[in-house]
Structure 1
C-alpha cells in the first residue's frame, strides 16, 4: 500500500485524536492549529503534553496553543496511566497511553514513538499527514510553502517523508 492511500485510510478512521507536543508546536508555528478541528471531531491534549507545549509561554507557538485551547480547537484531557515506554519522553508516553485508553488515533511525529504506537495497534498521523489531508479536503491550496516554513523553523523532516507528502498532495 502506498503512503498516500495509507494516509487516507488511517485519517478516515480517526475522528478523535490525542496530540503530542511536536505536531502542536509545528502547527502553532505555522499558525495553522485551525486545521485540527476541521479534520478531527475531538483533539485531546494531555496535561503532560500541554506542559511541554507551554514551557516557554513567551514563544508565539505557545501563545497560539493557549489560544487554541481557549477557543476550544483543542481540549485538555487527563493523563492516562502509562507503562514504561523506554526511550519515549513523558509527553509521548502520556499521549500514547491516553489514545490507547480511549481508542483514539494519535497526532505524533517522533519516529520511535510512532513505531511504538503502531506496535500497540494505534492509528497515527503526523504533521505532514495533517497538511496533506487538509489540502485534500480543500482547507489548504498548497503545502509546499508550509513544509519549507517548518524546515526553516528547525522542524526535522526527512527528505523521503517530504517527497511522499508532496506526492500525496499532488505537488511533485
Structure 2
C-alpha cells in the first residue's frame, strides 16, 4: 500500500460517522459535526442572509486565516454580515500541521483551499469541509475527507425546516451576485421544494426518497426567493 493511500486509510479510521444528512421533517437538532468552510460558501450564505444557518447545523464553524483574509477583502452588505459573523458564528484558526504527503496532494490548489483541508485534518475528529470549488472538492474526496457544498448545506437546512425553499434561497444567492450554474442547480436541488431528497456527504443530490432519480429542475422556472428563517 502506497504511503498516501495508508494516510487516507488512517484518516478514514479517525472519522466518527457523524455528519450532515437527511433528518425527519421538522427536526432542528444541532449536528455533532465541526465544519471548516471555504470562502465561497460563506459569501453565498451572506448574500442570502443565511449565515445564521451555520450554528444551527454544526457545533462549530471554523475558517483558516487565508479564507479570513479573502473574506475581509469583500465589500457591500454581505461583507458587513460576514464581519459580524466572524468571532461569533465563525471562528478563525491557524491551518495546523500538514504532512509532506498531504502538502504534495494539495499543492495544486489555491492557498485558501489548501488551508481549509489542512485545518480540517488538524481537528479531532476530522472536520467536515464546506467547499464549492470543484478542484478542491475533488482533491478532498480523493483524500477520503467528508465534504459538502452550499447546495448540500441548504438541503440539510430544508430537511430541518430551517429554510422554506432550497431553490428560492439559491435564486436569492444568484440574484445578489453569487455565481451558480443552471447545471449545478438542476442537478443538485429538488424542484419547488418537492420530495424529501437524501444528502450524500459530497452534497450532490442524486435520488428521491424512493430511490428513483430526482427530476431535473429548470432554474428559470423556480419559485420566488424565500429568506432564511
Q: TM-score, normalised by structure 1?
A: 0.84
Q: 2:20 aligns with which of 8, 11, 23?
A: 11
Q: Answer whether contact 2:48 2:176 (CA < 8 A) is retained.
A: no
Task: Spell out the pairing of 1:22-171 with structure 2 (5 A cutoff).
Answer: 22-56=40-74, 58-70=75-87, 72-82=88-98, 83-84=103-104, 85-102=106-123, 103-167=126-190, 169-170=193-194
Q: Which has the larger radius of gyration?
A: 2
- Stretch deviating more after TM superposition (76-85 or 18-27): 76-85
Alpha-carbon separation, structure 2, partners of 1:113 and 1:101:
17
Q: Answer whether contact 1:128 1:165 (CA < 8 A) is retained.
A: yes
Runs of 5+ unmatched residues, structure 1: 1-8
- Please state whether the residue corresponding to 1:11 is helix, strand or coil: coil
- Stretch deviating more after TM superposition (125-134 or 12-21): 12-21
Alpha-carbon separation, structure 2, partners of 1:170 and 1:101:
38
- Between structures 1 and 2, the one with greater helix share: 1
How large is the Cα RMSD of the aligned pairs? 2.2
Residue 5 of structure 1 is matched in structure 2 by none
- Number of aligned pairs? 162
Encode CA deviations 1:11-52: one digit per residue, 9 max, x unaligned.
Answer: 148610100000001111111100011001110011111001
Alpha-carbon separation, structure 2, partners of 1:157 and 1:86:
26
Judged with a 3 Å threshold, the aligned counterparts in structure 2 of structure 1 residues 66 and 126 are, in CA distance, closer, same or farther, namely: same
Q: TM-score, normalised by structure 2?
A: 0.64
Q: Answer whether contact 1:14 1:104 (CA < 8 A) is retained.
A: no
- Please state whether the residue corresponding to 2:165 is helix, strand or coil: coil
Runs of 5+ unmatched residues, structure 2: 1-17, 22-30, 196-216, 218-229
Encode CA deviations 1:50-75: one digit per residue, 9 max, x unaligned.
Answer: 0011113x3222211110124x2111
